[in-house]
């Protein structure tokens, strides 16, 4: 099946989904960020074909999400390491995990837990406002137009809706303080 590229859609969700939208890519990133970095480890853990794994890893390297680092010279062998861009995908995985734990964990409970090393507590990931630290929900947020927004493929109806909200906003939008 041929996928429609989403990289040209004026939506950050569409652009990120273009790279991370298939289940294998997200699971590859999960494994790498947790500590599995070698091709054979990833293939064994995920149980997917070596051809698909190689293609997904090549794309992640091409996009600057992963790098290949040599760990053995004879024979030459490399492992995959997350770049800063790749490490910043971790909160996205944690948000997916929290949602999956809440709605799909089953009677046995979540298959994994997250310990926050700084305080030692088990943590439930929460997406929060960077200014006030309150959790962000669909009920208490409004999408407003951004500088890169435009109407086009993938935003035919959404683009004008968001633009209208920006014009109707009664309070000025302020950026978070630069600390």
Q: Taking a C-beta distance cutoff of 8 angstroms, is the pair 66, 57 a contact? A: yes
CA-wise closest residue to 37 among 77, 92, 85:
77
pLDDT score, position 21: 84
Structure tokens at 71: 């760990």
CA separation (Å) from 2 to 5, 24, 42? 9, 16, 25
pLDDT per position as a tens digit, 57-105: 999 999 999 999 999 999 999 999 999 999 999 999 999 999 999 999 9
pLDDT score, position 171: 53
Question: Is residue 164 reached through a cis peptide bond, with omega within 30 degrees of 0 on the bond before it?
Answer: no
pLDDT for residue 174 is more than 90: no
Structure tokens at 155: 């935003």
Handedness of CA 50, 51, 57, 61 (dihedral sign): positive
pTM: 0.83
* DSSP code for 173: -
Task: Provide the mean pLDDT of the chain.
Answer: 89
Higher pLDDT, 103 or 15: 103
Q: How far apart are CA 57 and CA 80, in angstroms?
A: 8
pLDDT score, position 43: 97
- Bridge partners of 123, per DSSP, are 114
């Amino acid at each position: 099946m041929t996928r429609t590229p989403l990289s040209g859609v004026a939506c950050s969700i569409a652009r990120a989904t273009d790279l991370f939208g298939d289940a294998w890519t997200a699971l590859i990133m999960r494994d790498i960020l947790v500590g599995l970095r070698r091709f054979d480890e990833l293939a064994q853990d995920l149980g997917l074909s070596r051809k698909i794994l190689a293609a997904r890893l090549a794309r992640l390297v091409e996009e600057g999400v992963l790098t290949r680092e040599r760990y053995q010279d004879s024979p030459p062998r490399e492992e995959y390491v997350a770049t800063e861009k790749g490490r910043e995908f971790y909160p996205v995985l944690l948000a997916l995990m929290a949602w999956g734990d809440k709605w799909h964990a089953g009677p046995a409970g979540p298959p994994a837990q997250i310990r926050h090393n700084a305080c030692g507590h088990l943590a439930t990931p929460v997406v929060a406002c960077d200014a006030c630290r309150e959790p962000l929900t669909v009920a208490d947020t409004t999408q407003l137009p951004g500088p890169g927004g435009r109407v086009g493929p993938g935003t035919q109806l959404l683009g004008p809706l968001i633009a209208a909200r920006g014009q109707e906003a009664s309070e000025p939008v302020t950026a978070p303080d630069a600390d």
